[in-house]
Structure 1
Amino acid sequence: MALGSNKTVTAEQAKKNARLFHYGNILSIAIPFPLFIFWFGASMFVYALYRHHPNPRVGYYTQKGAYYFYSLAGFLVVILTFAPRVLFEDIRYALLLWGLCALVLIPLSIKEIMQINREDWKDTEYKDNTRNTGNT
């Protein structure tokens, strides 16, 4: 491909990309250890990849998913930093905290996925500014 050639992102690809962050959020809270920690790192890659997607709606939904996840992660850092020792000794408190997090994050992510599915997606054309030298 030449520099500046036009490419197309199909509507189905854009819809799939928009849902990815929300699926990661659900999976990370459904199986919190170790997926919450792994998703914290992987989500930064997904965010960087899709926030400036050629279809601006993909970036919008990725950003909303990031708001939800990073807000929850920040909340957990504050809570667990100043938590009393009993929170770490009694599994019931940890399960309660996990349940509260799931109660917040899962419905928000499902709501966003449903909204993504209802939205009318269109193919997006963009100019490819990468240089292909043929050396692969």
Structure 2
Amino acid sequence: MKKADDNIITAKQSRFAAKVFNYGTIASVLIPFPLFIFWFGASMFAYAMYRHHPNPRVGFYTQRAAYIYYTLAGLLVPVLTFAPKEFFTEYWWALWGAAILGVVPLAIIQIIKVNKEEWTDIQINPNKN
């Protein structure tokens, strides 16, 4: 038998869910090998799960975080594909630094916005189709 509390998503749970994608993005940029590659796969699962969260604000913040991460991932593909070998071997640190400077502050700003927002408990209906 289920209790009534089993159908409630607390404000704390929603707040955490809204920040998960940003945490993964920050970790994957700070430790790019192998986390960037692993997070690329895991982020698809996280996006699918949290974008369709019962609290629409969680989906909003997840989508904003995904824009940041997938912009970086999409930018790296042509840069690393068409850049000469010397660029990657000699200037990898500059590329890494640019990624950190571009992504981490934006993700931190999103986390701060999530923390400042007023979150409420969400009642979910398990019988709803």
Secondary structure, aligned partner of 2:27? helix
Q: Specify which structure has the bigger relative contact order, considering alpha-carbon pairs within 8 angstroms and separated by 6 or more residues.
A: 1
Q: Which has the higher strand share?
A: 1
The amino acid that maps onto 1:52 is H
Aligned structure 1 segments of 4 or more residues deviating by more than 4 angstroms: none
Alignment deviations for residues 74-116 of structure 1 (CA, whole Å, 9 cap, x no partner): 00001111101211332xx100000000001100000000000
Distance 1:23 1:7 in 2: 27
The amino acid that maps onto 2:37 is I
Gaps of 5+ in 1: 131-136
Instruction: Tell me what 2:21 maps to.
Output: 21
Q: CA deviation at 1:129?
A: 4.0
Q: CA deviation at 1:118?
A: 0.3
**Percent identity of paired positions between Structure 1 and Structure 2:** 54
Distance 2:38 2:87 in 1: 23
Distance 1:127 1:51 in 2: 18
Structure 2 length-normalised TM: 0.92
Structure 1 length-normalised TM: 0.87
How many residues are aligned here?
125
Superposed counterparts of 1:1-136, under 5 Å: 7-90=7-90, 93-129=91-127
Q: Which has the higher helix share?
A: 2
The amino acid that maps onto 1:23 is Y
Distance 1:89 1:63 in 2: 33
The amino acid that maps onto 1:121 is W
Instruction: Answer with 1 or 2: which has the greater Rg.
Output: 1
